[in-house]
Amino acid sequence: MTPRLSDRHRRSRPAAPRRGGEGYYEDDDGDPASGGGGGGSVLGASLLFAGTAVGAGAVALPAETADAGFGPSAFGLFLCWAYTYVTSLVTLEASWLSSSSSSGAAASSSARGDDHGGGGGAGFLSISRMSLGPTGEAITAALFWFLLTAIIVAYTSEGGALISRIGKVFASADIDPAFGSSLFAAPFACLAVRGTSGVDAVNRVFVFGLVVAFVGLVVIGLPNVEVSNLTNIADWGNVYPRVISIGILSLGAQNVVPTLLQYLDYNTMKTRSAILLGSLLPLVLYTIWEAIFLGVVDPSNADGTKVEAMAVLGRVGGSVAYDLAEVFSFCAIGSSMAGASVSLVDFFQDGINMLKSGGDSLNGVSSYSSSEEGSLEAGNLKSRILATALALGPPVVLAYAFPDLFLVALEEAGLLGGVSLYGIIPAISILSLRHKSSSEVTNGRTEMPGRLGGGNFALIALVAVSLALVFPEIRKLL
């Protein structure tokens, strides 16, 4: 059973941890500053990361990359995985550096008698505000809100369509897809109010269903794979931008990294392990999924739509394959919706906490976990409900009124926004934080255990690669 986040967040974190042994730091009570023994499980955190990555793109991805062929597509996905893993580690360090400063400020505030509660931990707003100032914070807020809102609109819209189809099949009920979107989003809103541990439990169910359906589809599809379909087409010119763009979007789950760091009690080594396992799972799943789909159908006949993918599976395996594909789609969308919704709510909670503390991101940051089950205080509950309404209300309204609006925006801006938010901003944030004095930023803790190697050169190289990916998209818009 996963420990409640609220139990660990009742503890205050000391202001000035000291170095303790090889590769980690100790607090005054002897606990590693990179995380104690409490918190959630690495498996649960890994599944939350993987579940956030695996979404509606699981079915659309093969047809979108069919023009490149299996070999180039698989290679492109590997490059996207490497980019996702590296940028996730960069986001982890940025979160850790910010939360280290947060804990110091919170302790100083407590000594003055104005402790806001909460153990620290920084979301994207806190990271950018501390390292890049108000302008960087505003840019980060706009990118983060747009991308996650677009993703949630897409999942809510498709979830409503799935509920409509399920209603017709199992209950002979004619459910309007727009109304189905509201039905689909409502449980995730309740889970987001509860916090990460509640999402973790439900996400495990979704991931289990996804894996079972996926295995069934592999068993049905594998005997029908034609090796010639996998080898006849190899257009490496389509790796960028099509494969890279959809791959980064499909594998991306960096937005949940600050949440995972909190969930694993600020243990950076556990969080790094969760990121590695959680990012490898979608890579393996997507690669096998591509091999099945591209091996069954002639890639030149795929039109890049989910309807075509479902039709192909239905022709190969009949109604059983079609039903399994629906279960796979529902669980994939549900698992992604779980991670994306709690991440966006945490983002709004971060902003609300800043406003409560007079704009100081170092006090009371990301105290979402105080609103876990069994320990809901009235103020925290109201704050969490407000954050949930602000985060999930607009996507539900947009999915109801304009079901295709953000789907188009997501396709056009996914690479631009995703690379900017998850690649460029965290790297620049770390460069800025490292430039400041260690006593000012990290209370003497200048290096995160398990951080990305290569020093500042690796961060500069990451920014350069990200800019190289972004500039062609900017030129298209201009």
Q: Walk along the chain (478 residues) and give the pLDDT tens digit of each residue.
A: 333 333 333 333 333 333 333 333 334 333 344 444 456 889 999 988 988 888 767 766 877 788 888 999 999 999 999 999 999 999 998 888 877 665 544 333 333 333 333 333 346 677 788 888 888 888 888 888 888 888 888 888 888 888 887 777 777 777 877 788 888 889 999 888 887 777 778 888 888 898 898 889 888 888 888 888 888 888 898 888 778 888 888 898 887 898 899 899 989 999 999 999 999 999 998 999 888 888 887 655 555 444 455 666 667 777 788 788 888 888 888 888 887 888 788 888 877 887 877 655 433 334 444 334 444 455 688 888 999 999 999 888 888 877 665 556 556 656 777 888 888 988 998 888 877 645 454 444 567 788 888 888 999 999 999 999 888 877 877 7
Is residue 5 within 8 Å of 372, Cβ to Cβ?
yes
3-state class (DSSP) for residue 391: helix
Task: Please list the residues that pair with 311 across neighbouring strands.
Answer: none
Taking CB atoms within 8 Å and a gap of at least 24, the contacts of 295-298 are 295/70, 295/221, 295/224, 295/225, 295/226, 295/227, 295/229, 295/230, 296/221, 296/224, 296/225, 296/226, 296/229, 297/229, 298/229
Please report, for the chain, the start and end positions of each structural domain, with discontinuous segments joined by +: 41-104+119-477
Q: From CA 196, how far away is CA 126, in angstroms rounded?
A: 19
Rounded to two decimals, the pTM is 0.74
Neighbours of 241 (CB within 10 A): 14
Cα radius of gyration (the chain): 22
**Is the bond preceding residue 223 a cis peptide, omega within 30 degrees?**
no
Q: Which CATH class is domain 41-104+119-477?
A: mainly alpha
Q: From CA 178, how far away is CA 343, in angstroms rounded?
A: 24
- Please name the residue ranges forming H helices in 402-454: 405-419, 425-435, 438-441
